Amino acid sequence: MPMGQSGNGANNVVNDDGPPSRRLSPYIRPLVDELQANGHQVSVAIPAASRSWIGKAHLIEAKLTASYVHKDSFREDGSWDEEYQPEHTNGLTNGLTNGHLTNGTATTGNDNNEDDGPTQDEWVIIENGTPASCTQLGLHNLFTNRPKIDLVISGPNHGRNASTIYNLSSGTVGGALEAVFCGKRGIAISFGSKDEQPADVIAAAARLAVRVVGFLYKNWDERVELYNINVPMRVDVEGRPVIYTRTLPYYWNRGCLYAEDLGKKEVNGVNGAVNGEVNGVNGHEVKSRKRQFKWSADLSDMKKTMQESEEGTDAHTVLNGSTSVTALRANFWHVPGLEGTLDV
């Protein structure tokens, strides 16, 4: 695949689900392994924790700490062993080795002795990172000892990113959007299920995703700034159609993202605490002017709309077992025809 000057793509892989873990981020390691197996030069920079629904945000008051972590040191819960030392072997590792997540890939230790960046076997985990900040740091700061990155791949997301709301809220899509604003091409990839999947289904999705990435890069339409790919999770996905789609429009029709937390009640006053729980003035209780809410997304209406969506949309396509490829531009374009002075 003619993606870089050497013929192999130099890719920055970011995500919004954080380090590899069985529950939250089960898809990134298989995708990275598949990219590398197909000759791509992959540099991984990902948040230290899940950043779903964060879009293209930067945490501007947070200090970001980048840790170089061996790819085989991750545990099933997404933590990692900071003292991990890879075993040198000519064989393959598979599954959980010494309590760490692997994916059937050769473990040969450090094959890059540069001191000014991560080795080829190290991923960069960024505390307080977001997909957008991982893109920025990956492109400009972290991998200066490697070939120039020409494509940012964001994902694979743990679940679909289909419809306007998902596209504009998704940290996965946000990572690819940030690439565009850095003058690079971006591809967002989502694997369409949050349910635990068999290894062969994940492997099939990863193989197909890498094929689609290679095709899109080789045949990139110059009108396109980023692509959003949704892959259904089924063992026969490689034999199913891959279809260009449009984004399903969707709007919230009720407040369904947050629920009030009615657990602990606090009562505040002016002159200190009474009985450790209630603040008062001259013994009179003064009730708090506060309410607490927690994330409690009820997406049942959205799921119904997606199931009823029109043919040709991203949602309809992936829900019916085919891979959706949506070509996007990274802008909120103005409405044509509204020009001139406003008479206010």
Q: 164 and 271: one domain?
A: no
Q: 52 and 160: one domain?
A: yes
End-to-end CA gap in the chain: 57
Q: 161 and 274: one domain?
A: no
Q: 48 and 189: one domain?
A: yes
| Half-sphere exposure (Cβ direction) of 125: Cα atoms closer than 13 Å | 21
Instruction: Check whether the bond before 156 is cis (ω within 30° of 0).
Output: yes
Looking up tokens 């000014």, which residue turns up? 116
Give the chain's domain count. 2
**Which domain CATH number covers 105?**
3.40.1210.10
245-293 pLDDT per residue, tens: 999 999 999 999 999 999 865 555 444 444 444 555 666 677 779 999 9
Q: 213 and 274: one domain?
A: no
Token duo for residue 131: 């997909």
Q: 153 and 263: one domain?
A: no
Q: 201 and 232: one domain?
A: yes
pLDDT tens series, the chain, 344 aa: 333 333 457 999 999 999 999 999 999 999 999 999 999 999 999 999 999 999 999 999 999 999 999 999 999 999 999 999 988 644 333 333 334 454 444 443 444 444 578 999 999 999 999 999 999 999 999 999 999 999 999 999 999 999 999 999 999 999 999 999 999 999 999 999 999 999 999 999 999 999 999 999 999 999 999 999 999 999 999 999 999 999 999 999 999 999 999 986 555 544 444 444 455 566 667 777 999 999 999 999 999 999 999 999 999 999 999 999 999 999 988 888 989 989 99
In angstroms, rounded to a whole number, what is the distance separating the alpha carbons of residues 107 and 121?
8
Q: 193 and 287: one domain?
A: no
Q: Is 47 part of any domain?
A: yes
Q: 157 and 246: one domain?
A: yes
Q: Is 283 part of any domain?
A: yes
Which structural domain range is residue 208 located in?
Answer: 10-251+310-328
Q: What is this structure's pTM?
A: 0.85
Q: Is 271 part of any domain?
A: yes
Q: Render 5-26 in DSSP notation, one character per residue.
A: TTSS-EEEEE-SS-S-BTTTB-
Strands (E), 248-299: 258-260, 273-274, 278-281, 284-285, 293-295
| Half-sphere exposure (Cβ direction) of 25: Cα atoms closer than 13 Å | 28
Q: 172 and 269: one domain?
A: no
Buried b (16+ CB within 10 A) or exposed e, 252-277: eeeeeeeeeeeeeeeeebeeeebeee
Q: 102 and 193: one domain?
A: yes
